[in-house]
């Protein structure tokens, strides 16, 4: 088996050190067995996240020098607006410093206390920004998504029966809007099909419900549609994207993923009310409505990256590099989420470490163990990330207890994938020797970022 050939060449490199075993053991203990608390200089291969970690192209870097740093009306804003109109098809743009800035503006405008937001599957910051104005995000994804072994090709799809049940049980007034995440992160980077979006639009039209996308990984979703959905085999990615977005009233977008930049985000919409309200609030929380917390140069990089990240040849390499790592693990029997997702390989920690109780945090444990073995940094995506039930205060133990090996875009070579796979396979062979963790510190919000653990 071979990895996909990279459609670029390397013009600049960054040295990375390899901490020895003694340092790795000390570093992860000092970090409270939480990979978020490791220093980057202690990491050899950083698969914590695909967010803000991309390598920009020479075209993007050269655009950075053309940053117009005027407080108001920078020309890079108008370039970004044009890119969003061309690639995604939305009329209005409100820039923000990153995705959660856009979530804050969009969701605080749309959610009233006591309302619910049906969404295929939660994402951490999205859920919180629905809860802060008094709402509740409810799971509306198809059952297949909760089963790591199920090979269904569109495990990001919305389950219309679940949506109908929310409508029937809560009433339309209690539904703020319907939220759909592209290439659903927490279910393993799994796409939503065009057919699902099209049908959802019909249902929501009937009930006059707004649809807001989390379009953060929409280009990768579009690639999967082209690969897997009949009728799209040779459709240009941008045409697929524009059709997808046409089924929504607006979106929030963290540019730190598919736009191949280190910082940035926005919301975009065709809805006058949403635009007016959020364009007004952006000046309170982010910055003027023509920069929203980004420098002019950042907006230029996003404007160029949005187009670059939607190129078919690039996406083909990208998705196949993730698949290469996944296949290396799958072939050795390591339990991973199937099908292999768009932005990372997700290890099923419940199957990897079946001897651990849920309160021993299997995914957190495995993530720390991988670091200790090889200085590869991954991320827990399970019960620590899910947090506690807002009403009862109890821990929630989701069906998916995963470790995410998230692949930054255009940063690592296929041999880095091989090194990573060897480490995970080595641990898999001695998995019974891995001991669980005890949580010893828990912050109130988004606990996974700062929680601390001790080895049992
Ligand atoms: N929505 C999704 C689907 C995301 O994956 C993220 C971030 C956000 C919104 C928030 O965007 O970070 O720019 O404020 N995901 C990162 C991750 C942090 O590692 O998955 P942000």
CA 432 / ligand 1 centre spacing (Å)? 33
Whether 253 is in the pocket of ligand 1, judged by its Cβ within 6 Å, is no
- 428, 333 in Cβ contact below 8 A? yes
Q: What does the alpha-carbon distance between residue 402 and residue 405 come to, in Å, rounded to a whole number? A: 10
At 63-92, the pLDDT tens digits run 999 999 999 999 999 999 999 999 999 999
- 204, 211 in Cβ contact below 8 A? yes
The three-point CA angle 350-353-355 to 5° equals: 105
What CATH code is assigned to 21-50+311-455? 3.90.1150.10
Measured from the CA of 184, which atom of ligand 1 is nearest? 3
pLDDT of residue 88: 98
pLDDT of residue 148: 94
Pocket perturbation via mutation, ligand 1, pick of 98, 120, 257, 322 by most ligand atoms within 8 A of CB: 257
The three-point CA angle 47-299-341 to 5° equals: 30
- The Cα-based distances of 180 to 142, 155, 279 in angstroms read 12, 12, 22
Other C-beta atoms within 10 Å of 120: how many?
Answer: 30
Domain 58-308 has CATH 3.50.50.60: no
Q: What does the alpha-carbon distance between residue 31 and residue 450 come to, in Å, rounded to a whole number? A: 9
CA 107 / ligand 1 centre spacing (Å)? 15
pLDDT of residue 390: 83
CA 355 / ligand 1 centre spacing (Å)? 31
The first and second tokens of residue 292, run together, are 């929203």
At 197-235, the pLDDT tens digits run 999 999 999 999 999 999 999 999 999 999 999 999 999
Regions of the chain short of the pLDDT cut 70: none
pLDDT of residue 391: 87
Whether 98 is in the pocket of ligand 1, judged by its Cβ within 6 Å, is yes
Domains in the chain: boundaries: 21-50+311-455, 58-308
Whether 99 is in the pocket of ligand 1, judged by its Cβ within 6 Å, is yes
- Alpha-helical (H) ranges within 34-140 are 58-64, 75-87, 99-110, 124-131
Helical (H) or strand (E) element with 79: helix 75-87
Sign of CA dihedral 52, 58, 63, 65: positive
Distance from the Cα of residue 119 to its chain's centroid = 14
Q: Residue 9 has what DSSP assignment?
A: -
Whether 51 is in the pocket of ligand 1, judged by its Cβ within 6 Å, is yes
Pocket perturbation via mutation, ligand 1, pick of 46, 117, 122, 125 by most ligand atoms within 8 A of CB: 125
Measured from the CA of 343, which atom of ligand 1 is nearest? 20
Residue nearest to atom 12 of ligand 1 (CA): 99
Q: What does the alpha-carbon distance between residue 172 and residue 62 come to, in Å, rounded to a whole number? A: 49
Other C-beta atoms within 10 Å of 164: how many?
Answer: 12
pLDDT of residue 2: 87
Whether 189 is in the pocket of ligand 1, judged by its Cβ within 6 Å, is no
Pocket perturbation via mutation, ligand 1, pick of 123, 293, 405 by most ligand atoms within 8 A of CB: 123
- The Cα-based distances of 185 to 193, 346, 402 in angstroms read 15, 10, 11
């Amino acid at each position: 088996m071979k990895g996909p050939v990279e459609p670029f060449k390397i013009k600049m490199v960054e040295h990375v050190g390899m901490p020895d075993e003694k340092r790795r053991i000390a570093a992860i203990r000092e970090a409270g067995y939480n990979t978020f608390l490791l220093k980057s200089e202690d990491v050899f291969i950083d698969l914590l996240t695909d967010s803000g970690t991309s390598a920009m192209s020479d075209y993007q870097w050269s655009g950075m020098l053309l940053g117009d740093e005027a407080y108001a009306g920078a020309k890079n804003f108008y370039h970004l607006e044009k890119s969003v109109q061309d690639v995604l098809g939305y009329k209005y743009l409100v820039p923000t410093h990153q995705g959660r800035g856009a979530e804050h503006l969009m969701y605080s405008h749309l959610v009233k206390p006591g309302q619910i937001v049906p969404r295929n599957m939660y994402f951490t910051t999205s859920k919180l920004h629905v809860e802060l104005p008094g709402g509740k995000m409810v799971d509306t994804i198809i059952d297949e998504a909760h089963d790591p072994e199920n090979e269904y090709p569109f495990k990001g799809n919305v389950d219309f029966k679940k949506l109908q049940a929310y409508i029937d049980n809560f009433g339309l007034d209690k539904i703020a809007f319907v939220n759909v995440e592209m290439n659903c992160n927490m279910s393993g980077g799994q796409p939503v099909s065009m057919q699902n979006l099209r049908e959802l639009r019909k249902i929501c039209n009937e009930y006059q419900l707004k649809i807001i996308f989390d379009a953060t990984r929409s280009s990768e979703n579009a690639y999967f549609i082209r690969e897997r959905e009949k009728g799209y085999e040779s459709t240009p990615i941008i045409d697929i994207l524009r059709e997808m977005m046409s089924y929504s009233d607006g979106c929030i977008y963290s540019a730190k993923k598919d736009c191949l930049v280190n910082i940035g985000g926005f919301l975009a919409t065709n809805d006058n009310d949403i635009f007016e309200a959020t364009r007004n609030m952006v000046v309170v929380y982010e910055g003027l409505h023509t920069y929203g917390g980004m420098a002019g140069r950042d907006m230029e990089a996003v404007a160029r990256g949005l187009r670059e990240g939607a190129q078919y040849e690039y996406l083909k390499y990208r998705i196949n590099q993730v698949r290469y790592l996944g296949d290396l693990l799958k072939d050795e029997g390591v339990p991973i989420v199937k099908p292999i997702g768009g932005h990372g390989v997700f290890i099923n920690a419940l199957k990897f470490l079946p001897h651990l109780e849920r309160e021993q945090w299997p995914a957190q444990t495995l993530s720390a163990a991988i670091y200790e073995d090889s200085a590869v940094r991954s991320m827990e995506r399970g019960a620590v990330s899910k947090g506690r039930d807002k009403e009862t205060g109890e821990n929630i133990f989701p069906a998916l207890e995963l470790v995410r090996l998230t692949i930054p875009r255009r940063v690592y070579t296929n041999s880095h994938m091989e090194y990573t796979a060897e480490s995970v396979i080595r641990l898999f062979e001695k998995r019974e020797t891995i001991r669980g963790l005890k949580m010893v510190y828990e912050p109130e919000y988004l606990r996974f970022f700062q929680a601390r653990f001790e080895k049992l």
